[in-house]
Amino acid sequence: MTTALVIGPRSMLGSQIIERLRALDIKILTAGRSAADDIVLDLGASEAKVPEGLSADIVFHCAASFAGDGDKGRRQNFDVNTASAVDVAQLVKELGASVLVYAGSASSDEILDPGNFTSYGLTKGLAEQVFAWAAQKQGFRFCSLRFPQIYDTEGRCCSHQAWFGRIIAYASRGENIRMPRSLGIRNFIHVRDAADLMIRAGHTEVRGILNISHPEAMNSDEIAVVAYDTFGIGGNVIDAPEKAPFRKINFPDGAQAFSQLNLLPSITMKDGIEMIRNAGTAKAFGPMDLT
């Protein structure tokens, strides 16, 4: 790999991939909605125009719509996540890239959370089918890493992982948090590990869908205990029986994927929360109130 294109360069995962690639002295191109990007690309709205002479060995696709399941949200998710896959495949072809690595989602597995299959998960899964089909037709290698819940050190994850953000907010302030009971585990992976796994997928010969689940799985109470112990300034978890419990989610086993990639996540939940504490970024986490 000498040149990589990152779609969604300002996303939480995309920006981390860029940081890690720079450390490897990989030339980086970006595709996004900004005029500052090498390729201007508004997924679901327009076809990308590749400047003459531009090429890349590999494409990392990290952009997505996380809209809700209302009429407008479903349409947006389909346009941005699924319909745009045709344009992304064409972009891979025009750049002469031999590899497409996609940031998939565990939500695309219907058995993950029975009865709560979202349009986000559906449209991300449909995009995988488009990419797999295009890979056969065009001759590039396609790999999708279906990630569980991703968190970071700066608090950008809070818009998607609100309860994780709330736990950090309360623990870092030494305040008691009222939490629903947990009916099952949650699975979090730090964005730095996610980026390293994406890059490793680009270097290896893996193909198809890989289920990524951190070997360390905890319920929300256990995550909160780690957070309070890490910040160590008081506060505790208080059971809130009036709140709907955290339902059980069936995260897949990630062992096979880690074996194929020959790489394990290196950041434990304790490590990740210590990174937040040491970086002094806890104030970016929240919200303080969440139903």
The CATH number assigned to the domain holding 90 equals 3.40.50.720
Residue 277 located in a structural domain: no
What's the CA gap between 168 and 159, in Å, rounded? 14
- Identify the pLDDT of residue 79: 94
- Identify the pLDDT of residue 290: 57
Residue 22 located in a structural domain: yes
Which contacts (CB < 8 Å, 24+ apart) does range 154-163 have?
154/279, 154/281, 154/284, 155/281, 155/284, 155/285, 155/286, 156/12, 157/12, 157/191, 158/284, 158/285, 158/286, 158/287, 159/66, 160/66, 161/188, 162/287, 162/290, 163/220, 163/246, 163/290
Three-state secondary-structure class, residue 145:
strand
Q: How many domains does the chain have?
A: 1
Three-state secondary-structure class, residue 115:
coil
Q: Which of 174, 175, 148, 142 is nearest to 161 (CA)?
A: 148
Burial 222-248 (b: 16+ CB within 10 A, else e): bbbbbbbebbeeebebeeeeeeeebee
What's the CA gap between 258 and 139, in Å, rounded? 25
- Identify the pLDDT of residue 66: 93
DSSP class of 228: H
Residue 64 located in a structural domain: yes
Digits of tens for pLDDT over the chain (291 positions)? 699 999 999 999 999 999 999 999 999 999 999 999 999 999 988 778 888 899 999 999 999 999 999 999 999 999 999 999 999 999 999 999 999 999 999 999 988 888 889 999 999 999 999 999 999 999 999 999 999 999 999 999 999 999 999 999 999 999 999 999 999 999 999 999 999 999 999 999 999 999 999 999 999 999 999 999 999 999 999 999 999 999 899 999 999 999 999 999 999 999 999 999 999 999 999 987 755
Residue 285 located in a structural domain: no
Residue 254 located in a structural domain: no
Tokens of 18: 């860029």
Q: Which of 23, 53, 16 is nearest to 38 (CA)?
A: 53
Residue 207 located in a structural domain: no
**DSSP output for 256-287:** HHHHHHT------HHHHHHHHHHHT-GGG---
Residue 133 located in a structural domain: yes
Partners of residue 31 on adjacent β-strands: 7, 39
**Stated pTM of the model:** 0.95
Domain ranges, residue 41: 1-147
- Identify the pLDDT of residue 168: 97
Beta carbons of 269 and 190 less than 8 angstroms apart: no
Partners of residue 6 on adjacent β-strands: 30, 60
Residues present in the chain in total? 291
